Amino acid sequence: MISWLTRLIKGVIIALGFILPGVSGGVLASILGLYERIISFLAHLSKDFVKNVLFFIPVGIGGILGIALFSAPLEYLLKHYQVPVLWAFTGTIVGTLPTLFSESTQKSRRDSKDWIWLLGTFMISGLLLFFLNDLVGTIPANFVSFILAGALIALGVLVPGLSPSNLLLIMGLYAPMLTGFKNLDLVGVFLPIAMGGAATMLLFSKAMDYALNHYHSRVYHFILGLVLSSTLLIIIPNPRNAESISYAGRGFTTFLMAALFLIAGIALGAWMSKLEEKYK
């Protein structure tokens, strides 16, 4: 029973990585000692299938509980304190960047092609994300778009350090997702996100394992470029996106809070990165 409750609590904590921009579910799973078992289970489903399913049931229940518990406070904070909260999220992501840069050279030295990958990804993804609504129109919050959200969340688990929530913020899916979580919309939100997440886990776990083993540096520099562009766009107003940050009518107090929350976020991100390195 104690082991079952422990795994339940770990699931609640990992849920933070699903809904907090700047926080990676993969990092939290790594800190809590579950990451390698998750990847091993996904890469070898037929091996000890029943045993693994029983092991992860409380983790899954904890994840659902965590999402239900934290979604309402986050939705409230974003509605009433958008600027400080988004700057705090930005700080959290910035705090993890040194570890991502360090991780990118764990298996090989950084070369000119890595810089091309990083800068190319940064510029192309930044332009695509900023003009996303012009290219594809407003992305509606519906069953199909939440399948995409689930796929991005799963990538955040497969790749420690990658936070998908900042992408969801830019795409305008973050707030609707939180609302659905808060209202326990099982069919309209939970189901498609679970479908997208499960499909991505099954399809890409082996591919990601192969890519990280054979193209580790290139993959991480691609991730770095994407993280840098999407993080920058969190704090840049975009009139094309209704969910974008707005500084209109903000006073000195708001900007002071934003600066303080940015610093606090950087400290939190750096601390989490150190935990990951310690427990990896």
User: Over the stretch 113-151, which tens digit does the pLDDT of each residue have?
Assistant: 999 999 998 999 888 878 877 776 667 889 999 999 999
CA distance 35 to 39: 6
pTM for this entry: 0.70
CB 168 within 8 A of CB 174: yes
Confidence of residue 277 (pLDDT cuts 50, 70, 90): low
More confident residue, 51 or 280: 51
Mean pLDDT, rounded, for 151-162: 76
* Ordered DSSP codes for 136-152: H-----SHHHHHHHHHH
Residue 200's CB: how many other CB atoms inside 10 A? 21
CA distance 127 to 116: 16
CB 238 within 8 A of CB 130: yes
Residue 233 structure tokens: 């766009």
Residues 6+ apart with CB under 8 A from 89: 20, 21, 22, 165, 166, 169, 234, 265
Give the total residue count for the chain: 280
Please give the biggest Cα pair distance in the chain.
Answer: 58
The candidate with the shortest Cα–Cα distance to 59, out of 6, 98, 119, is: 6
**pLDDT one-digit tens code per residue, 256-271:** 999 999 999 899 878 8
Q: Where are the alpha helices (DSSP H) in 81-215?
A: 82-103, 112-130, 132-136, 143-158, 165-171, 174-182, 191-214
Burial, 11: exposed, middle or buried (Cβ in 10 Å; 0-12, 13-18, 19+)?
buried
Distances (CA, A) of 60 to 7, 57, 65, 194: 9, 5, 9, 11
The per-residue pLDDT for 117 is: 92
CB 279 within 8 A of CB 30: yes
The candidate with the shortest Cα–Cα distance to 126, out of 241, 225, 217, 242, is: 225
Does residue 218 carry a pLDDT above 80? yes
